[in-house]
Amino acid sequence: MSVPYKDAGFELKFLGTMNGSSSLHTNAYFYPEKDVLAFIDLSLLNYEKASYLITPNLKRVILFLTHLHDDHASGVLSLAFLVREKLGVLLEVMTGSYFTQGAFQVFYETGGKPIFKNGELSEVLRIYGQTFDGRILTRPSLESAFLVEQELILESQQFKVPSWFVKTVPTVHSPRLSGAVGFVFMLNGKAIVYSGDTNTADPFFSKAENYAIETGDEAPLPVPTELYLEAQTGANITMHLSFDKIRSELLALMRRAPLLRVALMHYNDYGITHEVTEFNRELGEERLFVALQESPV
């Protein structure tokens, strides 16, 4: 009998695990420290569930943003106001450097502009972007946020980089949407590789293999690795991964990497559970799972 996702010891929990045409948008969360809450994306449909997680003990809330489509970003601004109101801190948003200015325009022009509280100018969120070479960029100030032509400047000292955050991973989602990213974290001795929405598995298979098999500066020894991979079923999939197309390559990777477990997300059909059952039967052990949402209340 297969082990359900929630009992399999995965590090990430989900507010939703399906694609953008459903009401269960794929948004994840985890607690990397006892007083730190991290989200990966947040849609407005999942905002209410996310709001129950904002508790008084939190000192910091960070949201890792893969891209700006509604099912991943529409709840960010509401969360920022809630975090400011309940905790008195800024929501920190980390994304790829390509999206930093776009996110500024989207969030600040739709209600995230500076607000006055007790007569003082306040922010509700701060947006950072990591470049391909690892630098962290942010806008210089809210006063200049509306000067679209102003250059981003290096202010990495303003973002206290957590020890568990490793890097952003550039990927391709849509021909009309450059700059989508996934993320790598180190949590409880495990490498966490998160694809976000992507139409190529290459950068994430490569990262997963690096941590689960090879050795290097980031992980001096192979470590247990969790790959969270979007995968959909059906024909004519161009903006997302087709499970049918990546199946054989994923099977070969998991045979080479016994420390690797994979959770499928952003799927379009619960029928993918049948595909997973057949995959594990061929693999000879249960290491491929279907991520499932959990209610935070």
| pLDDT tens-digit series, residues 86-100 | 999 988 888 886 665
Mean pLDDT of 157-182: 81
For the cut 80, the answer to whether the pLDDT of residue 102 exceeds it is no
Mean pLDDT of 219-248: 84
For the cut 90, the answer to whether the pLDDT of residue 127 exceeds it is no
* Torsion, CA 81, CA 83, CA 88, CA 89, rounded to 10: -100
Residue 137's Cβ-count burial label (10 Å; 0-12, 13-18, 19+) is buried
- Spatial neighbors of 81 by CB under 8 A, at least 6 apart, are 124
Give the closest residue to 201 by CA, choosing from 236, 267, 259, 246: 246
Give the closest residue to 67 by CA, choosing from 154, 120, 129: 129
For the cut 90, the answer to whether the pLDDT of residue 174 exceeds it is no
- How many whole angstroms separate alpha carbon 96 and alpha carbon 190? 23
**Among the ranges given (36-40, 49-53, 145-149, 170-174), the one the predictor scored with the smallest mean pLDDT:** 145-149
Give CATH for domain 27-162: 3.30.750
What is the per-residue pLDDT for 145? Answer: 36
Share of the chain above pLDDT 90, in %: 51
pLDDT interval class at 217 (50, 70, 90): low
Mean residue pLDDT of the chain comes to: 82
- How many whole angstroms separate alpha carbon 247 and alpha carbon 184? 22
Give the closest residue to 192 by CA, choosing from 180, 208, 181: 208
Write down the pTM of the prediction.
Answer: 0.87
What is the per-residue pLDDT for 69? Answer: 86
Mean pLDDT of 45-61: 97
Three-class SS of 148-167: CCCCCEECHHHCCCCCCEEE
Domain with CATH 3.60.15.10 in the chain: 163-297
Domain 163-297 grouped into CATH 3.60.15.10: yes
Mean pLDDT of 265-279: 88
What is the per-residue pLDDT for 177? Answer: 65
What is the per-residue pLDDT for 207? Answer: 93
Domain with CATH 3.30.750 in the chain: 27-162
